[in-house]
C-alpha cells in the first residue's frame, strides 16, 4: 500500500500520442479512466514521434511529453534494434523524471522491456501487453532465436511487475506459460465517444460502383497485396481505397503500379477526425491480419462495425475470428485465400444489412466491447494496490 495521498502515473508508449492508431486509443482510455481514481493527481503520457521534443496538456491533469524519434528504415533489423532500444531508454528516463509513483508500460515494442530490467523499479510497475510480439514471427532458425530472446526479456521484466495486463484470454494463457504470473484482461474495443461519433453515419445501400476501403496501418501484418487480385477481378465495378501509412506502403504502391490498375487509390495518413468521412463514403470496409498474428485482435474492426458498414475480413483462426464472426454484416475468409476473398466479396454484396442489423451490432458492442467498461478490471485492481 502506497503512503501518498495523491500520486502520479506515467504511461510509456513508443507510438505517437494521440495520433498513434490502436495503441494511442488504448492509452487514451487508460489515462481518461485512471485520472478518475481519487488518489491519482496527474497522468503523464510519455510517447515517441517524429515531432520535436515538447510537453503539452492533453486533458485537465493529463499531459503529453513527446520524445523525438526521426524516421528510419525499419527493414534494416540491426539499425532498427539499436534505434528502438535507444528510444526505449529515453522514454523510461523521461518517465522517471516525472517523479511518478506508478509507471505503466504498454507494449507492442518489446524493447521497452529492457529498461525495466536494467533500471531501478518504480514503486508500482504495470506491464500492458497489447501484443504478444514473440508469436508474430514466422518459423525459421533466426526468428526462433529472436522469439526466444523476446520471451526471455518478457519473463525477466515480468518479475519486476506488480501487475500484468493483456487484451484477451489467448494472451493471458501465453503470459501465464512464460512468466508464471496470472494477468488481468482489459479487452480492446471501442470508446463510448467513438461509438457515439460513428453512430452518426447512416446505413446506406451499396453503390453500383462499389467503394471498398481499408483504414489503418499499412504494415507487414495486414498483407494487403491480396487486394490486387480483387481489384483486377472487378476492375470495372470496384474502387479500392487504402487510407493510412506504414512499413509496407512504398512496396504496395510499387506493386499496384506494376499491375497497371486504375481503381486503387492511396490516401496516406489522415487525422483521426477525418476517419468518419472516409467510413461514410465506403460501402465495404476491409481488414486482414496474417497467420503469424493469430493472437492479435485488430481494434479498428470495432470501429468499422460501429460505422454501420459491411465488413470484409481476412483472419486466421484465433480470438479475432471468434469475436468478429458473431457480428451481422461481416464476412470472413481465410487469410491470403484469393478465391475465398472473391467468394466472400460476392456474398457480402448480397447481404441484407439494415438499421435493425446495425442495432444488433451496436448492442453487442455496448455490452461487451466498450473500453471504459473493460478497463474496470485495471482500475479496480489499482485501487487495491494504492
Angle at which helices 169-179 and 141-158 cross, to 10°: 80
Return the number of other C-beta atoms located less than 10 Å from residue 206's C-beta: 16
Grid coordinates standing for 91? 522514454
124-128, 132-136, 266-270: range with lowest mean pLDDT = 132-136
Question: Which of 27, 32, 67 is CA-nearest to residue 47?
Answer: 67
Average pLDDT over residues 319-339: 94
Q: In whole numbers, what is the pLDDT of the chain averaged over residues?
A: 89
Q: Is the pLDDT of residue 188 over 90?
A: no
Average pLDDT over residues 220-244: 93
Question: Which of 228, 270, 213 is CA-nearest to residue 245?
Answer: 270
In this prediction, residue 74 carries a pLDDT of: 65
319 touches 170 (CB < 8 A): yes
Residue 182 dihedral angles phi and psi, to the nearest 5°: -100, 110
Give the residue ranges of DSSP H helices in 260-354: 275-281, 300-306, 319-324, 338-350
pLDDT digits (tens, 9 = 90+) for 139-163: 777 777 877 888 888 889 989 999 9
Q: Read off the pLDDT band of 175 (50, 70, 90).
A: confident
In this prediction, residue 136 carries a pLDDT of: 62
Q: Is the pLDDT of residue 278 over 90?
A: yes
Q: Is the pLDDT of residue 4 over 50?
A: no
Average pLDDT over residues 311-327: 94
Q: Is the pLDDT of residue 3 over 60?
A: no
In this prediction, residue 382 carries a pLDDT of: 85
In this prediction, residue 111 carries a pLDDT of: 86
In this prediction, residue 76 carries a pLDDT of: 66
- Burial (Cβ within 10 Å: 0-12, 13-18, ≥19) of residue 177: exposed
Q: Is the pLDDT of residue 1 over 60?
A: no
Amino acid at each position: 500500500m502506497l503512503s501518498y495521498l495523491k500520486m502520479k502515473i506515467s504511461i510509456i508508449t513508443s507510438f505517437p500520442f494521440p495520433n498513434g492508431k490502436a495503441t494511442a486509443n488504448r492509452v487514451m482510455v487508460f489515462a481518461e479512466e485512471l485520472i478518475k481514481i481519487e488518489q491519482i493527481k496527474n497522468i503523464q503520457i510519455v510517447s515517441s514521434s517524429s515531432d520535436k521534443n515538447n510537453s503539452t496538456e492533453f486533458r485537465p491533469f493529463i499531459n503529453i511529453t513527446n520524445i523525438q524519434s526521426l524516421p528510419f528504415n525499419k527493414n534494416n533489423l540491426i539499425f532498427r534494434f539499436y534505434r528502438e532500444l535507444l528510444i526505449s531508454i529515453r522514454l523510461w528516463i523521461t518517465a522517471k523524471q516525472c517523479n511518478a509513483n506508478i509507471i505503466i508500460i504498454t507494449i507492442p515494442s518489446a524493447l521497452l522491456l529492457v529498461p525495466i530490467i536494467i533500471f531501478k523499479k518504480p514503486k508500482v510497475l504495470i506491464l500492458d501487453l497489447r501484443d504478444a510480439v514473440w508469436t508474430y514471427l514466422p518459423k525459421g532458425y533466426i526468428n526462433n532465436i529472436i522469439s526466444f530472446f523476446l520471451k526471455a526479456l518478457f519473463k525477466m521484466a515480468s518479475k519486476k511487475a506488480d501487475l500484468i495486463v493483456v487484451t484477451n484470454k489467448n494472451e493471458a494463457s501465453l503470459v501465464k506459460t512464460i512468466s508464471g504470473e496470472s494477468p488481468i484482461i482489459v479487452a480492446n474495443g471501442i470508446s463510448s465517444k467513438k461509438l457515439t461519433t460513428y453512430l452518426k453515419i447512416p446505413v446506406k445501400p451499396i453503390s453500383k460502383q462499389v467503394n471498398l476501403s481499408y483504414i489503418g496501418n499499412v504494415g507487414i501484418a495486414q498483407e494487403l497485396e491480396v487486394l490486387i487480385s480483387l481489384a483486377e477481378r472487378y476492375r470495372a465495378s470496384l474502387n479500392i481505397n487504402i487510407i493510412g501509412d506504414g512499413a509496407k506502403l512504398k512496396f504496395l504502391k510499387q506493386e499496384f503500379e506494376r499491375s497497371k490498375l486504375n481503381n486503387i487509390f492511396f490516401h496516406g495518413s489522415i487525422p483521426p477526425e477525418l476517419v468518419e468521412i472516409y467510413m461514410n463514403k465506403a460501402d465495404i470496409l476491409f481488414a486482414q491480419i496474417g497467420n503469424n498474428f493469430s493472437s492479435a485482435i485488430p481494434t479498428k474492426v470495432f470501429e468499422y462495425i460501429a460505422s454501420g458498414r459491411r465488413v470484409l475480413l481476412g483472419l486466421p483462426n484465433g480470438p479475432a475470428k471468434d469475436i468478429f464472426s458473431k457480428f451481422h454484416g461481416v464476412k470472413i475468409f481465410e487469410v491470403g485465400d484469393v478465391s475465398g476473398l472473391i467468394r466472400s466479396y460476392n456474398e457480402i454484396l448480397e447481404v441484407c444489412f439494415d438499421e435493425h442489423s446495425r442495432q444488433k451490432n451496436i448492442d453487442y458492442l455496448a455490452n461487451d466491447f466498450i473500453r471504459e467498461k473493460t478497463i474496470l478490471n485495471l482500475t479496480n485492481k489499482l485501487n487495491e494496490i494504492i
